[in-house]
Amino acid sequence: MTLTRDVMTADARCIGENDALTIAAEMMREFDVGALPICGEDGRLKGMLTDRDIVVKAVAEGQDPDTTNAGRLATGKPITVSADDDVEAAVEVMRRHQVRRVPVIADHRLVGIISQADIARHLEAETTGETVERISR
């Protein structure tokens, strides 16, 4: 059995819930990513922030990215998987929720992210193809 922790990208960086969207955009550029987990003051995951969220939900709505904090765009309960889940469970979560990346949690703390790219690198081509197809519907 392959665990999620075996294929995830470890050491995911968080944007603080009180950090401005410009800081999030700078982090995305620095780390060459299109999404960041949003973590609260307590270190717990509050949601995910994408580059599209910044543009569509903030900038296009007239919000100032220098004064709008990341936590403002965190809506709903974050979708997560456990580091000790079988990777197939993570794949199913991605398929069911049609998301390309899912935060990985251990002891209520963020320990990584599992992405569509991680699936492609570590699982069989058939699994990857089915996952991409279901996510993209």
Q: What is the mean pLDDT of each run of 10 residues along the chain (137 residues)?
A: 91 92 96 92 89 94 96 86 94 90 90 89 73 67
pLDDT confidence of residue 93 = 94
Q: For 33, left (φ over 0), alpha (ψ -120 to 50), or beta?
A: beta
Gyration radius of the chain over CA positions: 15
Q: What angle do CA 24, 28, 32 make, to 5 degrees?
A: 175
The domain ranges of the chain are 4-135
Amino acid, single-letter form, for residue 129: G
Q: What is the CATH number of domain 4-135?
A: 3.10.580.10
